[in-house]
Homo-oligomer: A and B are copies of this chain.
Amino acid sequence: MIGSIGAAAAAICIIICTAALQVEAGGAEVKFKYEIKEFQVPLDHFSFLSNATFNIRYLYNDSFVDKKNAHTPIFFYTGNEGDIELFAQNTGFMWELAEKQRALLIFAEHRYYGKSLPFGASTFNASLPDHLAYFTVEQTLEDYAMLITFLRNDLPLPVVAFGGSYGGMLAAWFRMKYPHLVAGALAASAPILQFPGITDCDIFYRIVTSVFQNAYNSNCTTNIGRSWKTFETLGGTEAGKKQISDAFHLCNPIKNDADLKKFLDYIEEVYGNLAMVNYPYNSSFLAPLPAYPVRQVCFYLKDLHQNDADLLHAMASALAVYTNYTNSAKCLDISVNSNADESGWNVQTCNQMVMPFCSNGTDTMFRPSNWNFKEFSDKCYKDYRLTPKPYDIILRYGGRNIETATNIIFSNGLLDPWSGGGVLQAPNNKVDIIILPEGAHHLDLRHSDPADPPSVRDARNKEASIIARWIQEFAY
């Protein structure tokens, strides 16, 4: 997930926001094979207002299936905010485990993402707000419930749900609400507690800060903390605006305060992204990046800079680790908004995914910012004619009261800023908590790599054995 906070109103994007989507692997491209299929679902599962339907996509691979097994497991990825092919390519663990368990692999695309658009090209047309009305967690889980029912075809097939980040939240909730359809769920880096009133709003930024603090040396966060003042000072003059624009090679130079704010929001978002994808090997999930990119960024900020110009140039070098690692960009385009996925997630933050973010400006390297729901809500109405329901998710899924949940693995990497909203303590002995001290955002869901730290290997082994048990318990 990515934090795009700005001063007050937070529009937090999970997994993919600013960056172009790219297939990634340990340096090389991974190409998993699948058939692309479609499945018809009702537009609205919960009223009898209309019988309208549309198709969601899903990816299908039965190459591992043992046709003689009457209890073939189905590994079902509960697709999240993006084109489902991205997640199929970035969830190598499912492929590896499917081979061992001889499972059918399904990756379901979330409604309103990728090509699963209920109103085609006009789905996100802001002048037609009814088009966005059915873009909810509950409608999505129902899509998946119907798809699983179809795939099982009345056969006793154990289904295991997999998901990372928002997809992990969906996997966990799916098991909670449809336990008759899924034997268990692996919810990797799933911040189901990142909602109003149940988690401190500054936790995300505190964790990001801690990751940067420990990456190289502590000058990193000191420099970043000071930089806001530098940007503010320079941004106050025409010459200073130009100085910033030149230093960062901005495609569109900063012309006014709004541009400056946008630039600073962008940087803040990048820090969050970097912490999330601070993987131990080259990757290109959010952007092409070196191994442990935060360390690389902090390498450029290892010396304490006293004057604005020095700091500015160090910052520019540091940021380029994220924005131009491949050296292919001619300039930095901070307005990249190229895929429908960001549009999608922004809508979700304006209906149910109301996740408060804030910073007091002293415990973190970030600017001070308050969580102002009113301001946020007003913007949602302005943008989409949506009034957010900040307590919807807690009302339905229980917030911290998940004592009756069973057969869910919550895995969290402690280097992942989203772990602050994750489930780190088991509510009972039928829920497993797996902590990856060296893990970034759902690292465990990715393919095995020689550079994987021991905690990730251990986590995958444990996950594999728990999932095997669920399948066995289901079948016999």
Contact = CB atoms under 8 A, between A and B. Distances in A.
Interface of A: 44-49, 51, 130, 132-136, 138-139, 142, 145-146, 149, 177-181, 351, 386-387, 395-399, 401-404, 406
Given A180-B398, A398-B179, A48 B404 contact: no
> Which residue among A48, A132, A395 has the maximum number of chain B CB atoms within 10 Å of its CB?
A48
Nearest to A154: B197
A149 B399 CA distance: 13
Contacts of A178: 396, 398
Given A47-B139, A145-B396, 7 more contacts: A142-B395, A145-B395, A149-B395, A178-B398, A180-B399, A180-B401, A180-B403
A13 to B, nearest CB: 19
Count this chain's copies in the assembly.
Answer: 2
Given A402-B180, A403-B179, A404-B179, A146 B47 contact: no
Given A145-B395, A149-B395, A395-B145, A48 B132 contact: yes
B180 A130 contact: no
A46 B46 contact: yes
21 contacts: A44-B47, A45-B46, A46-B46, A46-B47, A46-B136, A46-B138, A48-B133, A48-B134, A48-B351, A48-B386, A48-B387, A49-B130, A51-B387, A142-B395, A145-B396, A179-B398, A180-B398, A180-B401, A180-B404, A181-B398, A404-B406
B398 A48 contact: no
A403 B184 CA distance: 13
